[in-house]
Amino acid sequence: MNSRKVVYLFFSTLLIGSLSGTIVGFILDYQVYIEDTFLNLIFGLIWLMGISAAFSLISQMGFFAYLTVHRFGLGLFKSQKLWNAVQIIIIVFVIFDLIYFRFLAFAEPGETIFGYFLMPLLLLAYGLIIAYIKAKDTNKGAFVPALFFIVVITTIEWVPALTVNDTKWLWLYVTPLLVANTWQLLVLHRLTRA
């Protein structure tokens, strides 16, 4: 992949992630941005674009870190099947942790653990869809790495918002992460082919 394609990947990911976060952030706090002057709206949108751009940059760092870890894992385990099995085990642990540890940290007295199932299961379902698309576009061996990237790496990148447990921040943070991660994952093989 030449430098022009790397620059394209960087800026397209930044733009797509920033726009997605800005749109979701605006929808989540619509009243705050329109209640005062026009400048309030403009500065609010600039702030949303900036914070979403920062999340998109985190996504890009996670993507290139995963590419390195993936190569390291393939070399360490000497077999794609074994490395895929390790990744599946890690995915299961991450989904469990998203449910159980968030329940331990944030549950109110009398609250059941079932309320903490929705977010991790939605992330897993989204990861399965994206992994299926990636495998269909490339080869079936890409399914588990794509699922691992969407579930595990996105969760690692999402940790600062997960520790706050504010619904607005959870959505504002995860939207650019998921959009940027999905874009990078689905466009990389097209860039490397051409």
Q: Hey, where are the domains in the chain?
A: 3-193
Is the confidence at residue 194, as pLDDT, over 70? no
Question: Taking a C-beta distance cutoff of 8 angstroms, is the pair 186, 132 a contact?
Answer: no
d(CA 124, CA 88): 12
Q: Which amino acid makes up residue 194? A: A
Residue with tokens 């942790």: 97
Confidence of residue 111 (pLDDT cuts 50, 70, 90): confident
d(CA 176, CA 22): 9
The residue ranges of DSSP E strands in 25-135, in sequence order, are: none
Confidence of residue 50 (pLDDT cuts 50, 70, 90): very high
* CA neighbours closer than 13 Å in the CB half-sphere of residue 150: 27
pLDDT in tens, 118-169: 999 999 999 999 999 999 999 999 999 999 999 999 999 999 888 888 888 8
Residue with tokens 């394609």: 5
Element (H, E) at 88: helix 80-106
What's the gap between Cα 39 and its chain centre?
31
